[in-house]
Structure 1
Amino acid sequence: MKLLRDTWLIFQRNLQLMLRSPMWVVLGVAQPVVYLLLFAPLLKPALATMGAHSQAEAYRIYVPGMLVALALAGGLYAGFDLLQELAAGIVERARVTPVSRLALLLGRAFRDVVVLVVQAAIIIVLSLLFGLTVGIPNLLIGYGILALINLTSASFSYGIAMKIKKPAVLGQLINNVAQPLMLLSGTLLPIALAPLWLRDTANGNPFNWAVTGMRELFTGNPDHSAVWKSFAMLGALAIVVIAWSGRKFAKSVR
């Protein structure tokens, strides 16, 4: 119970700080919206071999991948916010409080999940204007996948930030991690269009399964094996990453 109460308190504090600067939500969706408007219209001929014979069908393939990219990148860059708090001594002052060290991580990570949900809702509403259709139950299941991705990537970023504590090094490291993960996830174009060796490599990437699962949900196939496989793989990965990052917080804030 103490962990839940402390997590809620940290979550509330970080959410209030974010609400004081709502531009973060807008800036977070700025680039995806640009891709939605300028890149997605080019996909109809490129995805014709996958059955996307209309603009709406092309968006049904593209938008789920873009949402996964938003969840992954948004979480991975969350560590920069923590670096600011470290520099200001905010995390250091937690040493004299009885707050759970794991709650310091979870409260921040859950705040990031809420921000992601809002950003994803904005993108989906805009996509509806281009003919995208998706069932509400399938959309809610998709939100579960996105939440696991964001929770995992944000926890990883926070753990790395606690260890490195240098913005320049953190930025370079995150870029080196984010780019191959996204390319091997088929966020922009489906991995099915890639050579066999690249498809085999992507099969070991849980975020690739997440993209596949999201696309199946958006096409009305919630019973597809990629959906439950993505939940299983991302759930296990989230537990491992949170445990690792939680230890970093425990060691740094004693």
Structure 2
Amino acid sequence: MRAVIIEDESIAANRLQDLVGQLAPEMEIKAQLHSVAQATAWLEQNPMPELIFLDIQLNDGYGFDILDGLQEHPPVIFTTAYNEYAIRGFKYNGLDYLLKPIDKRDLEQALKKFRKFDVQPPREDWTAVQNLKQMMTKTYKKRFMIKVGNQYSSFKVGDIAYFKSEDGLIFLYTQAGQRHPVEYTLDQLEEILDPVDFFRINRKFIVTVDSVAEIHTYFNSRLLLRLDPNQTEQVIVSRERTTNFKRWLDL
């Protein structure tokens, strides 16, 4: 059983290969490939493997660029540093999508799927991959026009600390401590903000990495945050979002 790992970080590639060796000793990793160019050349010059572990975002492009150049593709297990928001809705398609750092149990489940996978997926199933590609490569909102008094001001996304729902309205909080209403729901903001930089921790808050000043354990498997600018109320990461929040922060 032959496989290749396409991953631009050597440490991540080596760890993945070690985990595969533990969980699927019958699988031979034929190569570790670190770029779109290197992987494309290798796949053109060697027999097609039976499985590809594919990082979505590489230094010289996207893993999808490699697949686009293949007339036929073997099963693919995607690996990505993006949080669950970036791949929600696609979890049931494809062979599997693993979030970095890769959890051994998740990889074990993905390999179980592969062992049951004995036919080439129908071409129409590739639509899910194309949808994911569009999501990963789409342009996210860079600035917000906010009415301040009798005029409008432009706020760059990099100046934003977090968004908060208060009394039916959504407010943008800047890193400088300013507070302004925005004409979006939190659901809408999730769709237009880059999930690498923003994470929805509960029904009231979408936060940035820089706004998380302190993290404390909290009862019932939740986390208590201190944000900057500070909030007088408790800011708690909901239990169902805690695992992905830790992955997002790479805890």
- Tell me the TM-score normalized by structure 2: 0.28
Larger-gyration structure (1/2): 2
Which of the pair is proportionally richer in strand? 2
- Identify which of structures 1 and 2 has the higher relative contact order when contacts are C-alpha pairs closer than 8 Å and 6+ apart: 1
